[in-house]
Amino acid sequence: MNDRDYGFCPRCGALMRDGVCKSCGYSVRMEAGWQQPSMGTPGANWQQPSAGQTGTNWQQPSLQPTGRKKKRSNAAAWICGGIAVLFIGVIAVSMVFSIRGIYEKVQKENPPGYGYGYDDGYFGYGNPYEDDTYGNYDDSYEDYEPSEKDDYYKEITDATSLDLDYQVVWESVSMRPDDSDNSCTYDCVYPVLVGEEDQEKFDAMSQTIEDLVSKYKDSYRDHVSGVSSYGYVTYMDEEKISVAIRHSFYEKKTTTPRVEAITLRVATGEVISHEEMAEVTEELVWQFRSRNSYQNGTVEFVDELSDEELMEYLKNETDSVMFYTPVGLEIGFNYEGGWVTVTLKTDTL
């Protein structure tokens, strides 16, 4: 056995072989002038080194790094990286579900087919209202078909007939300013009467109707966004024809509605006056109030009028409205910013 292959660890005192401690892993460098002490009792020429102090002809051993620390560092890095990737993945999945939830909520609150439509005013109430041209459309809406069995007339609509000696065709007019930046427009639709005989008479009647429907054609630019006027044949038989017109005056944020009407005697083409259709009396004023509450609910403007004032509105040649429908006679008036009508059944006239 070569004594130089063995020694004692200067740190822990355990047996060393080839300069490496078998207990704590320390190693020493062999240098010239240093002699490995032999096993057994130290000789006279050797001095046991103390901690932090070198012995005779001996150099302080130095630590030699091993590969274990590096391997442990690499493993820790891989573990941290994996945790980071997992964390990012969890965040991404959470964001996807959150966005999906928001989208489904929006779709639920705004289903396809809703949110667009046309409403030109309040029938019956006649209150001023904000222009909501594309706000309240429901594609399940069904056209109103008035009947004599109805309690009251619910909406201005056409009630034409194909079984008479004269028929109705429709004409329309649309006008736009030459300036493309000007959004002011004019739209008008009105009925034209065509008869099997005496077409000249029906032409005259049609001209009377057209003049009333298109009365604002020359002044539509006086309103910020223009005017629209739509004529409806609310009643027609062999004796008379009634046409109601809904005018809409478009301003910046509001639309002011107005209703006018005309009734013509088919035999002569003459205009039937309001006095012939209904006499405005105290009894009619009382009926108007009662039917207004039932048919239209609360209309503050009407409720605030005295009986005398209400009678004056119903008699006013400019603002009063009367026209026939399959349900009965519609009677009412225009006031500042709106209009209101009620239905008088035939058996109450």
Pair 233, 340 in one domain: yes
Is the same domain home to 50 and 145?
Answer: no
Residue 1 lies inside a defined structural domain of this protein: yes
Last residue of a domain, one of 20, 44, 64: 64
Quick one: what percent of the chain has pLDDT higher than 70? Answer: 64
Mean pLDDT in the chain?
77
The answer to whether residue 294 sits within a structural domain is yes
Q: Strand, coil or helix: what is 165?
A: coil
* Amino acid at residue number 32: A
> Does the pLDDT at position 318 exceed 70?
yes
Are residues 296 and 207 located together in one domain of the fold? yes
Tell me the C-alpha distance between 247 and 215, whole Å. Answer: 10
Examine the domain organization and report whether 26 and 138 are in the same domain.
Answer: no
- Interval 22-49: pLDDT, tens: 677 767 654 334 444 444 444 444 444 4
Of 12, 37, 64, the last residue of a domain is 64
Residue with tokens 């309103």: 223
**Residue 11 sits in the same domain as residue 157:** no
Decide if pLDDT at 121 tops 80: no
| Same structural domain, 238 and 337 | yes
Instruction: Examine the pLDDT at 1 and tell me if it is beyond 60.
Output: no
Q: Are residues 60 and 138 in the same domain?
A: no
In whole angstroms, what is the distance from residue 349 CA to residue 333 CA?
Answer: 18
Buried b (16+ CB within 10 A) or exposed e, 141-152: eeeeebeeebeb
What H or E segment, with its residue span, contains residue 116?
none
Which residues is 118 bridged to in the sheet? none
* 156, 232 Cβ separation under 8 angstroms: yes
Any domain includes 117? no
Same domain, 59 and 190: no
Q: Provide the sign of the torsion angle of the four alpha carbons 135, 141, 143, 146, taken in this order.
A: negative
Number of H helices, E strands in the chain: 6, 12
Domain range spanning residue 205?
129-348
Predicted pLDDT of residue 35: 44
* Domain final residue, candidates 64, 90, 110: 64
- Asked if 248 and 145 sit in the same domain, the reply is yes
Same domain, 181 and 290: yes
- With respect to residue 84, please indicate whether it lies within any of the assigned structural domains: no
Q: Answer whether residue 109 is part of any domain.
A: no
Instruction: Let me know if residue 253 belongs to a domain.
Output: yes
Domain membership flag for residue 104: no
Q: How many domains does the chain have?
A: 2
Mark whether 44 and 139 lie in a shared domain: no
Strands in the chain per DSSP E: 6-8, 15-17, 20-21, 129-130, 166-175, 185-195, 226-236, 240-250, 254-265, 320-324, 329-335, 338-344
pLDDT at 293 > cutoff 90: yes
pLDDT digits (tens, 9 = 90+) for 220-271: 999 999 999 999 999 999 999 999 999 999 998 899 999 999 999 999 999 9
pLDDT, residue 229, reads 98
Of the ranges 64-78, 83-97, 111-125, which one carries the lowest mean pLDDT score?
A: 111-125
CATH number of the domain that residue 159 is part of = 3.30.565.40
The answer on 196 and 56 residing in a single domain is: no
Measured in degrees and rounded to the nearest 5, phi and psi for residue 183 equal -90, 5
pLDDT above 50: residue 124: no
Residue 112 counted as domain residue: no
Kindly give the pairing relationship between strand 226-236 and strand 185-195.
Answer: parallel
